[in-house]
Amino acid sequence: LVLATFYCVLFVFSLLGNSLVILVLVVCKKLRSITDIYLLNLALSDLLFVFTFPFQTHYQLDQWVFGTVMCKLVSGVYYMGFFSSMFFITLMSVDRYLAVVHAIYAMTVRTARMGTTLSLAVWLIAIVATSPLLVLYQVASEDGVLQCYPSYNRQTLKWKIFIYFEINILGLLIPFTILIFCYVRMLHQLRSCQNHHKTKAIRLVLIVVMASLLFWVPFNVVLFLTSLFGMKVLDGCALSQQLIYATHVTETISFTHCCVNPVIYAFMGERFKK
């Protein structure tokens, strides 16, 4: 009941926050810049994530009653939202890096058309990354309760490990390697310019990095440990139960990013507030 209530609260705040971001970007700002394009797609990505909350809420209160097709669809949308969100955060970081460190070159490539092209590429990659999960998710009855979860057997157990590593690599390792590189270079560049606007930029950069670390790293670490458990590197019944519990907790924490992203990427921006 507590978890279901939490999902309901997240659903309301995320839906309102991201819908407002989209409204302002489309109606007021008219999607004039590449940053507007990325912000719009990030908000759409978060709304995809939010779409799964009503189903998750009902699932927590009762059982999965929506059938196999919706099980695959909701799970696919969930992971597509996860991948695309991380990809767009990374894309925005690279865009800011170019604007700060390579300002002259950035003038030729930071166009709305380029933003649209790269955004379409991100969605395509997110769909490809999600597709293996659509095959594995099934509805099955356990102790008379219908559940929606990825079904593995001896033949598909390697897929489970592959998918967990895929989430780790695409959802954490590659994005955060790029994030760290971009933000270290940006901070080095900005520190040489002591003015009010540059100080705000540094603060925003640090908040972006810390928020991403806070919400996504715990979940990815648990998935990595679960992968090691599946490969028999780690073992033990007690550890198995602890990993299951840790997965639920860290996954719930990661859901919160849907509410935070509109605040960080939009409402903290001076132009957006105006």
What pLDDT does residue 188 have? 83
How far, in Å, CA of 175 to CA of 143, rounded? 40
> Domains in the chain, please, with CATH?
2-273 (1.20.1070.10)
Beta strands in the chain, from DSSP E residues, in sequence order? 137-142, 145-150
pLDDT value, residue 266? 61
Tell me the C-alpha distance between 63 and 59, whole Å: 5
The pLDDT of residue 56 is 84
How confident is the model at residue 195, as a pLDDT?
53
What span, in angstroms and rounded, lies between the C-alpha atoms of 37 and 181?
A: 23
Q: pLDDT value at position 274?
A: 64
Give me the pLDDT at residue 202, please: 62
| Tokens coding 227 | 């992968």
**pLDDT at residue number 84:** 92
pLDDT at 87: 92
Q: What was the pLDDT predicted at 269?
A: 63
For residue 130, the model assigns a pLDDT of 92
How many Å from the N-terminal Cα to the C-terminal Cα in the chain?
Answer: 40
Contact in structure between 129 and 86 (CB atoms under 8 Å): no
Distance of alpha carbon 19 from alpha carbon 262, whole angstroms: 9
Residues of the chain with pLDDT under 70: 155, 193-202, 204-205, 265-274
Condensed to tens digits (0 to 9), the pLDDT of residues 229-252 reads: 877 777 778 888 888 888 888 888
Quick one: pLDDT at residue 267? Answer: 63
| Element of type H or E holding 68 | helix 67-101
